[in-house]
């Protein structure tokens, strides 16, 4: 199985401050890894490092075949990040936000509608400006942006936050689908049980590095898919 993420003793800086201090992580294509840990443990920094948003200053850091120290721009085009703040323009509708993201990535516009539908953003919701969506709907719209871009590596920062139980189930289903289609997924969470239920492996972080690792409850992928773009939309 192809390696989507390979970090070995990776040190990353957020501005002048250390965000990761010697992190080790390997994630295969089609694998779901949940990252747990208290606030400030480095979960978000791990995702931002893998997205190429934080500068890696030492150690090995390869994401989707690109060295994070020299090819951050190339990495950014290949990953999808769902951050704490939804990356939506308030004045644009959910559909326009997704369309902009897809066109910016040079993707096909046919991916827009299926992604919106998959996340339940249909009818009036797809035409509503993002500013007027509820927190949960904004979260789903932001996830639709990631889904429509069809990245090979999904980086989801607390994807269940602010969602009702139905939407949480929907997120778990989407995660399972994209992983089955060959994409690697790293998600952070404060909910150990839910994280374990969707993940193949659970990583516990502390002080900017992995402190413990457990086996998750998700079944292993049925098929091993090589590391190309996962088109699940």
Partner 1 sequence: MWRDALLVLGKDVRIELRSRVALWQVLPFAVLVLVLFGFALGPGQHALRSAAPGLYWLAVLFSTVLATQRSFAIESGEGTRDGLRLSGIDPAGVFLGKAAAVALQLVAVQVVLGAGIVFLFDVHIATWWLAIVASALATVGLSAAGVLYGALSAGLRVRETLLPLLVLPIVAPVLIAASRAWSAAVVGTVASGTSWLKILGPFAAVYLAVGVALYGPLQETG
Q: Which residues are near partner 1 by CB under 8 A?
A: 48, 51-53, 76-77, 79-81, 83-92, 96, 100-101, 103-106, 129, 142, 145
Least separation, in Å, of the C-beta of 107 and partner 1? 9
Q: Are 150 and 229 in contact (CB under 8 A)?
A: yes
> Residue 77 or 190: which CB sits closer to partner 1?
77
CA–CA distance, 196 with 199 (Å, rounded to integer): 5
> Residue 77 or 214: which CB sits closer to partner 1?
77
The strand pair at 184-188 and 201-206 is best described as: unpaired
CA–CA distance, 218 with 233 (Å, rounded to integer): 22
Q: Are 33 and 186 in contact (CB under 8 A)?
A: yes
> Residue 76 or 214: which CB sits closer to partner 1?
76
> Residue 81 or 183: which CB sits closer to partner 1?
81
Least separation, in Å, of the C-beta of 89 and partner 1? 6
**Which tokens is 204 given?**
């516990």
First to last CA, the chain: 23
Least separation, in Å, of the C-beta of 104 and partner 1? 4
Least separation, in Å, of the C-beta of 96 and partner 1? 7
**Which tokens is 203 given?**
């990583």
């Amino acid at each position: 199985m192809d390696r989507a993420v390979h970090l070995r003793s990776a040190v990353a800086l957020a501005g002048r401050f250390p965000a990761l201090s010697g992190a080790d992580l390997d994630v295969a294509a089609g694998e779901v890894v949940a990252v747990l840990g208290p606030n400030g443990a480095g979960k978000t920094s791990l995702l931002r490092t893998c997205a190429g948003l934080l500068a890696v200053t030492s150690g090995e850091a390869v994401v989707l075949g690109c060295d994070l120290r020299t090819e951050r721009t190339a990495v950014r085009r290949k990953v999808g990040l769902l951050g704490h703040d939804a990356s939506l323009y308030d004045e644009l509708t959910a559909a326009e936000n997704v369309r902009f993201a897809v066109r910016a990535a040079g993707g096909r516009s046919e991916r827009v509608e299926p992604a919106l539908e998959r996340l339940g953003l249909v009818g009036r919701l797809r035409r509503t400006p993002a500013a007027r969506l509820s927190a949960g709907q904004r979260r789903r719209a932001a996830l639709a942006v990631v889904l429509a871009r069809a990245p090979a590596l999904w980086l989801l920062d607390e994807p269940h936050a602010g969602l009702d139980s139905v939407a949480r189930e929907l997120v778990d289903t989407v995660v399972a689908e994209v992983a089955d289609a060959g994409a690697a997924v790293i998600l952070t969470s404060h909910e150990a049980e839910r994280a374990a239920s969707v993940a193949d492996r659970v990583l516990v972080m502390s002080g900017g590095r992995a402190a413990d690792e457990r086996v998750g409850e998700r079944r292993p992928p049925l098929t091993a898919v090589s590391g190309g773009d996962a088109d699940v939309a």
